[in-house]
Amino acid sequence: MSEHQVEQEDVEQEEAEPRPSAEERRAWQAAARRLVRQFPDPVLKNPASDVAEVDDEVRRLIDRMTDVMSTAHGVGLAAPQIGVSRRVLIYRGSEEEGVRVLVNPALVERSEETEVDTEGCLSLLGGDLSVPIERHVRVRVAGLDGEGQPLEIEAEGLEARIIQHEVDHLDGVLITDRAPTEERRTALRELRLRAG
């Protein structure tokens, strides 16, 4: 996903792991289209409501989101993407890491340094559409964990990008809203042609 030069160890590890086949990728995209709300669903464009209390209902929501993200092979998911307008997001920075939960997340600090990289979204053709997006390289986010305890995360690189992407969902913002003008036009044209 990243345009940055990958360290040699990462390249060797990546070469040792089999890449998903085109058939597997199509199956994941089909699962995302079936389980995740797709553009132009209005829930994706409306800001989500704060969670008053992390109770059993919110924990069930987190479990459901985790199942959907896993089935669709995503790296992050926000509650509005499954039709629930609550400020809850989950993500996993890598296969080795467990799923992280952020309830009522707020970006409290952003680096001045930014970088452009391509991003896809499970809500845009099941992840089959990607556009270049400029994001802050490092962020600090505060919120609650899945048990309702205060939490603060300092993230950089891919983790920071995922968090910013999912917080955007909670604010009713899609990657097409952040894309440069020409890429935005092209992406919206593609969505209209293929979303039907």
Hey, what are 48's tokens?
Answer: 């989500």
Active site residue 166: yes
44, 123 contact by CB (below 8 A): yes
Quote the distance between the C-alpha of residue 156 and its chain's center: 15
Q: How far apart are CA 175 and CA 132, in angstroms?
A: 9
Longest dimension (CA), the chain: 46
Q: CB-side exposure of 145: number of CA atoms within 13 Å?
A: 8
Catalytic residue among 166, 182, 183, 190: 166
Active centre residues (catalytic): 166
